[in-house]
Chains A and B, each alone.
Chain A
């Protein structure tokens, strides 16, 4: 038995915490142990997409900075809006995309697929470095 577990049980025995609290603490210890056994840190879900732009103006003196924080939930809701595109409009969109070399059947996109795409954005980081500007997009 490790020391933390022993401490919790001693606190329970001394009446400093009740059984529920002890159970919660032990469960938390268990989760921690599992995470460390897996060799990684506990991965939290990203809540926001950040877009930052650092650019120099043409005069080269005054910098322009943009910082936008968008909740992930907004992206999820936005992709649901895409699901409401009427069939006629969808055909036009597909035709226009095909003309530009992108063959995509929008009717095959299901909300669960879109959810998966948004979930995958958590690991996304885009860095664009230009002479005059730096753009960074990342999830946090």
Chain B
């Protein structure tokens, strides 16, 4: 299943911290009409470039699905940034 949320945290020590919860499901919902509209175009382009559009969509879906539990943490100059896909 594709990730439905992500969290972003920025910790600046004494200067305060910020935590954001990003509802990815809203992003997917917003993108869905665009994907549906673009599908015929992707199909035509796929035919021209000899790429199976169904396979391409399948692979993109797989990539999105496997993004779960991805974690990126960067600390520099006393500022810590953290991104986590839930």
Which of under 10, 10 to 19, 20 to 34, or 35 or more describes the interface residues of B? 20 to 34
Q: Which residue of A lies closest to B56 (CB)?
A: A84
DSSP class of B's interface residues: helix, strand, loop or mixed? mixed
B73 to chain A: which residues have CB within 8 Å? 65-68
- Contacting pair B71 A67 (CB below 8 A): yes
- Contacting pair B49 A86 (CB below 8 A): yes
Measured CA separation A68–B55 after assembly (Å): 29
Given A57-B77, A62-B78, A87-B50, A76 and B66 touching (CB < 8 A)?
yes
Tell me, rounded to whole Å, the shortest Cβ–Cβ distance linking B18 to chain A.
Answer: 19
A80 to chain B: which residues have CB within 8 Å? 59, 62
Tell me, rounded to whole Å, the shortest Cβ–Cβ distance linking A83 to chain B.
Answer: 8
B59 to chain A: which residues have CB within 8 Å? 77, 80-81, 84
A-B complex: 9 closest residue pairs judged by Cβ atoms: A73-B66, A69-B71, A77-B62, A67-B73, A74-B66, A65-B75, A77-B63, A64-B76, A86-B49
Question: B interface vs A, CB < 8 Å?
Answer: 49-52, 55-56, 59, 62-63, 65-78
Extra contacts, 8 of them, besides A66-B72, A74-B70 (Cβ < 8 A), are: A64-B74, A65-B74, A68-B73, A69-B69, A69-B70, A71-B66, A73-B66, A84-B51
